[in-house]
Structures are given as structure tokens and as C-alpha cells.
């Protein structure tokens, strides 16, 4: 059956998915029991995150930092120095490999959790970045909202906000930084302004530590490890662990056996040293805050609440935690998904989101080009940006309005209208007021990408049977794993002590362990083999007379965030 709409936060380092049901948001756990999933892809049969240290050249991550960019962009060339995998130029179009299949892990775990097919989603990444992916993943994107806005929904839904409150969302993610200012009143969320840096985040803090330790290793051991991708990745992994340790202590240790050429590396870093290494990056987060305040036409004193979001909120400068940091954005997206799919729950029925576009929009006017009288057409160029001169801004598109009556320069009156839909997609129309002639364009940034029609045609022609076969196999594997896990967990539940005889309990536990062992060795087995194992498990379950309370199912649900109390001045809330 068809499942409810869900909210998906596609992060640079971790991703998360949530669903609004039973009057609250539930964050959906992965098949390993974690409520966030690493945004990693490894070309191997085993775990992708574990492969990043041992198989770095075949493990992709930070993909979000590449979306919307071209190979020659300065930020791409800079980031490539930090990645162990290769980034290559491929004529600006997607590359397909023989026998490749497309799947979306977050969709799979959501369907396994709900036991229903999931199609409708709200996604918290820039619209054009996911336009093609959402089609190939078989998803219908109801709405696209930015991460700070989604976090604001998570914050506001947990509060009884009556009088108008101005809220500043300060969102430092794995690879991006965003600031949004919203006014919340009686369930209406109006975004006043948004600003940020698409290339500032937790990974930049980690890279500063890595460079620091590479220099230290070179100084102490007279060896340069910067060109050894495996060693650098081991060091990066250790730095990420140290960062989390340092959140609860003033010093963290780095201990790596055989880092390079059999040499062990043992060192430490203090909280003060870490903050010194990243001082300029921390200061750089203040400029977007000032810009957001200016654009919202608000003074600092008019901000009632500050909500801190993102993995870097675990740096001790961030104060108390209210909503689970890793779940806040998916939480807000799940609420928006529930609203758009018609959820009538009391918690969301009166909530309304009004968003804004992050950059100013305008058209080019005469400047440096001679335009003679009696023109029969006019070319309108659409720009985005904050600079005064069009040459310093980004040209989004052009449209030509023809068939206007000849007239002296300056006489024709052309009305240009900008229309931005809820997903941030811009349409521009121009009308000659004397004749009513009109032309319209939709501005996109997907030049060189496949169109929806291209993708649908390719999906129909290629790999369809293979994709369906693999999808069925994955579904059977996940179903078996889930069944074994839930039955094992049920018989071990303390509440059932005395209700299940010891012999039946031991048989189910042994069978569960046997299946887990079989799965470890047969990850690539066929669908029929997974189904046979599940049938055997169900027969054993039935022979034991079933479990008291019914068949176990599903993963642990998420939890709603706790509410916070009011205080004088702006309150600071930290969520991730």
C-alpha cells in the first residue's frame, strides 16, 4: 500500500529521514540501528563507511559539495586536494556504466520501516541539485526547502508561540553553513531573510586539523604523508573521532598504529589549539549573520530566539541541546511533508511556511549599448546577485518580446514579473502593456544535464529488468534481516519473561544467530534464497505458538524534541 509523505535531509556527511505519524515525527533508523546514515558510497560489497580508510580511492563522499558545480570551478579544484577518490571531467554529462542500477537507500529503509511504498517526499537541498536524482529514485518531490527553514519548523512546532517571535537559525552542517531569520506567529512561519556559505562546514574544521598533523608528522619524523591517500584518510578518521571527544574534555588524543611506512603516530590536540586553527572560519560565520539581519531589516536586539543547528554544535562554544542535533532538519522536513500530503493532525493543521529566495533578482538596463528608435522587439536579461552592475552578477536567462509597435526610445512600456514557486523555481514573464503581447521563461541551472524526458526514456530502454531484480533482492534481504532482528529482540524482552518457555526461546535465538551469520557470508545471495531463509524462520516462529502480543515488526521510532523554557533576551537552542 502507499505510504505517507516523508522528509529527507540529504547532508554532506550524514543523511536522515523522518515521517510524521501518530501526531509526532519519527526519525527512521537505518538497518544498523542508527538514526543518521553516512553520505558515503563505496564500490564494494561491504559497509561503505568502514571502507573509507581501507579502500579510500573507491569510496565517494562529500558529493553534495559537487552538486551545482562544474569541474573547472575553483572550489572543486580546491576540494579535490582533500579527496582520496578521483574526480574527472566527463563532457558535462552523466556517465553510465554497463549493468549499473540506481537505488536510494533512505527510500529502502523507510519502506522497510513503514511496510508501505514511499513516493512523496520533502527534500532539504537546493531544488536544481536534486532535480534528476529524484526522478531516477522514483520519488515525487512535493516541496524543496532549505535546511535552516526546516530546522525552524522543528523548533516552532515544539513551542507554544502565540505572540510574534523573531527566530535566527544558525546552521553549520557537514559542508555548508546557512543563516535564516523567521518570524513565527500563531503557526505561520515567514522567512524574512536567508544567507550563508555553501562551502563552510564541519569538514573544513576537520581538514584544518589534518593539515596541522601532517605538518607535525613531517617535523617529527621527516616524512611527508600528504600524497599517501590511505594515510591521510586514516588521519582524517582519527581527527573526526578526536573532535567528538574534545566536546566533553579540553584535550583529545590521536593514536594511529602504522600510519606511514610502519611508523606509529601518537599525539594530542587541545580545545584551545583547535579553536586557534579554525579562528578565521569561526569569524567567517558572523558576516552572513549580519547580512541576514540587514536583509530582514531587524536589529540584533529584536531577535527573540537563536537556534543553533548542525554537527558542529557539539563544539563546546555551542550551548545546551534541545532537539537532537542530527535529526532536526529531517524532523522539519517530515512536518512539511505531512502538511503537503494532507495530514489533519492538530499539531500541524494550522502551520504555514512562507519562504524567500536567497539572492536579489533583477533585469539588465541600458548601459554601454546603443539602442536605436523604432525597435520591434526587446531582449530582457534576468540576473541574480547583490552587485550594482549586471556584469558582476549571475545571468540566469534571457527572453525576447517581439511584435511591439515601433516607437521612439523609452516610449514602450514593458511589465516584467518574477514568480517564484514554493520549490524556489523562478519564472519570468514580460508583457507589452500597449498590445498585451507576452512571453515567459522558466529559469533553471541544469544546462548539460539530462531532461526528465531523457531520463524516462533511458529508464524504459535500459537496465529496467536488472533494476527491478536487484530491488526485489534487496527488499527480500532487508525483510529477512528485519524479521530475524525483531524476533530475536522480542524473545529477549524482559516484559516477556515467563511467557515464552526456555526451549522455544533458545531455538529462536539460535535461529536468529544462524541467519545473521548466513547473511554475513551471503550478502549477494539470490532473492529466492533470502525468501527460503525467512520461510524457515516463520515456520519456527509458528511452531513456538507465536509471541505474546503479536508478531514483532518495525524499528524503534524517533522521538519528539523536548520543549524549552522562555528567558529574557534571545534564547539559544542547539540542534543539529
What pLDDT, in 10s, does the model give residues 501-526? 778 888 888 888 888 888 877 877 88
User: Which among 88-92, 215-219, 382-386, 485-489 has the top mean pLDDT?
Assistant: 215-219
Residue 271 clears pLDDT 60, i.e. is over it: yes
Coil, strand, or helix at residue 251? Answer: strand
**Beta carbons within 8 Å of 464's beta carbon, 6+ residues apart:** none
Average pLDDT of the chain is 71
- The CATH class given to the 361-421+425-443 domain equals mainly beta
- For residue 379, what pLDDT is reported? 79
C-alpha separations of 194 from 110, 292, 356, 388 in Å: 31, 6, 7, 20
Average pLDDT over residues 342-366: 55
- For residue 560, what pLDDT is reported? 34
Burial class (CB in 10 A: 0-12, 13-18, 19+), 92: exposed
Task: Work out the angle at residue 404's Cα, subtended by the Cα atoms of residues 398 and 406, and round it to the nearest 5 degrees.
Answer: 120
- For residue 449, what pLDDT is reported? 41
Residue with cell 547580512: 291
Fold of 202-282: Actin; Chain A, domain 4 (3.90.640)
Of the two residues 415 and 364, the one the predictor is more confident about is 415
- For residue 15, what pLDDT is reported? 83
Residue 476 clears pLDDT 80, i.e. is over it: yes
Instruction: Return the CATH architecture of domain 461-543.
Output: Up-down Bundle (1.20)
Q: Tell me which of 414-428, 509-523, 540-554 is least confident.
A: 540-554
Residue 223 clears pLDDT 60, i.e. is over it: yes
In tens, the pLDDT along 17-34 reads 888 887 778 888 887 777
Question: Which of 87, 42, 36 is closest to 65 using CA atoms?
Answer: 87
**Contact call for residues 134 and 43 (beta carbons, < 8 A):** no
C-alpha separations of 370 from 19, 189, 365, 375, 382 in Å: 58, 47, 12, 12, 19
Q: Select which of 26, 62, 64, 355 is catalytic.
A: 64
In tens, the pLDDT along 95-140 reads 665 555 556 788 888 888 888 888 888 887 643 344 445 555 667 8
Average pLDDT over residues 72-88: 75
Distance separating alpha carbons of residues 482 and 165, to the nearest angstrom: 44
- For residue 212, what pLDDT is reported? 92
- For residue 548, what pLDDT is reported? 47
In tens, the pLDDT along 182-193 reads 888 767 778 888
- For residue 179, what pLDDT is reported? 82
Question: Is 504 considered catalytic here?
Answer: no
- For residue 214, what pLDDT is reported? 92
**Contact call for residues 487 and 552 (beta carbons, < 8 A):** yes
Of the two residues 47 and 561, the one the predictor is more confident about is 47
Q: Select which of 60, 158, 171, 204 is catalytic.
A: 171
Of the two residues 203 and 45, the one the predictor is more confident about is 203
Q: What is the pTM of this model?
A: 0.48
Residue 198 clears pLDDT 80, i.e. is over it: no
Burial class (CB in 10 A: 0-12, 13-18, 19+), 342: exposed
Residue 401 clears pLDDT 50, i.e. is over it: yes
Q: How many CB atoms within 10 Å of residue 125?
A: 23
Residue 532 clears pLDDT 80, i.e. is over it: yes
* Residue 549's pLDDT band (cuts 50, 70, 90): very low
Distance separating alpha carbons of residues 291 and 359, to the nearest angstrom: 11
Residues in the chain: 576
- For residue 370, what pLDDT is reported? 42
Question: Is 147 considered catalytic here?
Answer: yes
In tens, the pLDDT along 142-154 reads 777 777 677 777 7
* Residue 224's pLDDT band (cuts 50, 70, 90): very high
Average pLDDT over residues 153-162: 64
**In degrees rounded to 5, what are phi and psi of residue 507?**
-65, -40
- For residue 251, what pLDDT is reported? 77
- For residue 61, what pLDDT is reported? 67
Distance separating alpha carbons of residues 323 and 498, to the nearest angstrom: 38
Residue 258 clears pLDDT 80, i.e. is over it: yes
Q: What percent of the chain has pLDDT over 90?
A: 2
In tens, the pLDDT along 124-136 reads 764 334 444 555 5
State the number of CA atoms in the 13 A half-sphere of 313 facing the CB. 27
Average pLDDT over residues 208-219: 91
- For residue 424, what pLDDT is reported? 59
- For residue 213, what pLDDT is reported? 92
Average pLDDT over residues 217-242: 87
Question: Is 9 considered catalytic here?
Answer: yes
Of the two residues 444 and 442, the one the predictor is more confident about is 442
- For residue 561, what pLDDT is reported? 37
Q: Delimit the domains of the chain by residue range.
A: 202-282, 361-421+425-443, 461-543
Q: What percent of the chain has pLDDT over 70?
A: 61
User: Which among 16-25, 440-449, 491-500 has the top mean pLDDT?
Assistant: 16-25
State the number of CA atoms in the 13 A half-sphere of 355 facing the CB. 23
Buried b (16+ CB within 10 A) or exposed e, 15-35: bbbbbbbeebbbbbbbbeeeb
User: Which among 221-225, 499-503, 570-574 has the top mean pLDDT?
Assistant: 221-225
Q: Select which of 60, 62, 147, 355 is catalytic.
A: 147
Residue 301 clears pLDDT 80, i.e. is over it: no
Question: Is 171 considered catalytic here?
Answer: yes
Distance separating alpha carbons of residues 237 and 301, to the nearest angstrom: 41
- For residue 444, what pLDDT is reported? 56
Amino acid at each position: 500500500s502507499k505510504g505517507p509523505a516523508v522528509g529527507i535531509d540529504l547532508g554532506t556527511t550524514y543523511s536522515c529521514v523522518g515521517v510524521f505519524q501518530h501526531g509526532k515525527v519519527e526519525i527512521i533508523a537505518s538497518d544498523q540501528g542508527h538514526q543518521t546514515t553516512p553520505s558515503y558510497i563505496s564500490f564494494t560489497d561491504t559497509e561503505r563507511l568502514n571502507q573509507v580508510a581501507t579502500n579510500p580511492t573507491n569510496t565517494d563522499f562529500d558529493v553534495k559539495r559537487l552538486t551545482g558545480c562544474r569541474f573547472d570551478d575553483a572550489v572543486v579544484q580546491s576540494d579535490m586536494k582533500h579527496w582520496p577518490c578521483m574526480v574527472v571531467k566527463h563532457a558535462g554529462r552523466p556517465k553510465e556504466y554497463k549493468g549499473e542500477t540506481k537505488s536510494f537507500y533512505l527510500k529502502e529503509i523507510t519502506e522497510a520501516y513503514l511496510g508501505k511504498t514511499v513516493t512523496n517526499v520533502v527534500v532539504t537541498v537546493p531544488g536544481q541539485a536534486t532535480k534528476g536524482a529524484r526522478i531516477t529514485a522514483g520519488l515525487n518531490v512535493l516541496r524543496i526547502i532549505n535546511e535552516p527553514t526546516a530546522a525552524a519548523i522543528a523548533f516552532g512546532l515544539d513551542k507554544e508561540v502565540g505572540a510574534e517571535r523573531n527566530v535566527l537559525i544558525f546552521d553549520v552542517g557537514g559542508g555548508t553553513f546557512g543563516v535564516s531569520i523567521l518570524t513565527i506567529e500563531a503557526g505561520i512561519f515567514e522567512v524574512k531573510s536567508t544567507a550563508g556559505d555553501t562551502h563552510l562546514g564541519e569538514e573544513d574544521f576537520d581538514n584544518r586539523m589534518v593539515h596541522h598533523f601532517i605538518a607535525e608528522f613531517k617535523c617529527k619524523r621527516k616524512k611527508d604523508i600528504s600524497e599517501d591517500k590511505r594515510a591521510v584518510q586514516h588521519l582524517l578518521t582519527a581527527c573526526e573521532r578526536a573532535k567528538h571527544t574534545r566536546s566533553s574534555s579540553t584535550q583529545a588524543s590521536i593514536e594511529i598504529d602504522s600510519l606511514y611506512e610502519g611508523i606509529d603516530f601518537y599525539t594530542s590536540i587541545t580545545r584551545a589549539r583547535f579553536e586557534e586553527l579554525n579562528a578565521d572560519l569561526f569569524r567567517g560565520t558572523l558576516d552572513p549573520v549580519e547580512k541576514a539581519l540587514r536583509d530582514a531589516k531587524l536589529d540584533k536586539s529584536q531577535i527573540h530566539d537563536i537556534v543553533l543547528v548542525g554537527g558542529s554544535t557539539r563544539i563546546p562554544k555551542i550551548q545546551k541541546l534541545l532537539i537532537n542535533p542530527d535529526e532536526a532538519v529531517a524532523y522539519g522536513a517530515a512536518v512539511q511533508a505531512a502538511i503537503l500530503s494532507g495530514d489533519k493532525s492538530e499539531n500541524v493543521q494550522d502551520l504555514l511556511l512562507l519562504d524567500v529566495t536567497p539572492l536579489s533578482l533583477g533585469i539588465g538596463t541600458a548601459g554601454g549599448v546603443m539602442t536605436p528608435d523604432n525597435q520591434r522587439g526587446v531582449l530582457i536579461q534576468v540576473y541574480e546577485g547583490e552587485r550594482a552592475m549586471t556584469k558582476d552578477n549571475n545571468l540566469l536567462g534571457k527572453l525576447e518580446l517581439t511584435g511591439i509597435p515601433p516607437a521612439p526610445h523609452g516610449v514602450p512600456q514593458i511589465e516584467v514579473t518574477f514568480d517564484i514557486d514554493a520549490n524556489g523555481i523562478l519564472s519570468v514573464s514580460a508583457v507589452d502593456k500597449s498590445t498585451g503581447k507576452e512571453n515567459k521563461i522558466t529559469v533553471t541551472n541544469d544546462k548539460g544535464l539530462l531532461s526528465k524526458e531523457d531520463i524516462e526514456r533511458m529508464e524504459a530502454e535500459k537496465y529496467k529488468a536488472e533494476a527491478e531484480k536487484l530491488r526485489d533482492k534487496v527488499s527480500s534481504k532487508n525483510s529477512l534481516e528485519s524479521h530475524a532482528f525483531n524476533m530475536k529482540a522480542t524473545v529477549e524482552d524482559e516484559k516477556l519473561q515467563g511467557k515464552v518457555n526456555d526451549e522455544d526461546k533458545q531455538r529462536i535465538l539460535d535461529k536468529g544467530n544462524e541467519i545473521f551469520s548466513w547473511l554475513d557470508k551471503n550478502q549477494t545471495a539470490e532473492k529466492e534464497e533470502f525468501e527460503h531463509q525467512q520461510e524457515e524462520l516463520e515456520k519456527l516462529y509458528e511452531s513456538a505458538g507465536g509471541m505474546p502480543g503479536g508478531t514483532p515488526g518495525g524499528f524503534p521510532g524517533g522521538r519528539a524534541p523536548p520543549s524549552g523554557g522562555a528567558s529574557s533576551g534571545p534564547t539559544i537552542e542547539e540542534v543539529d
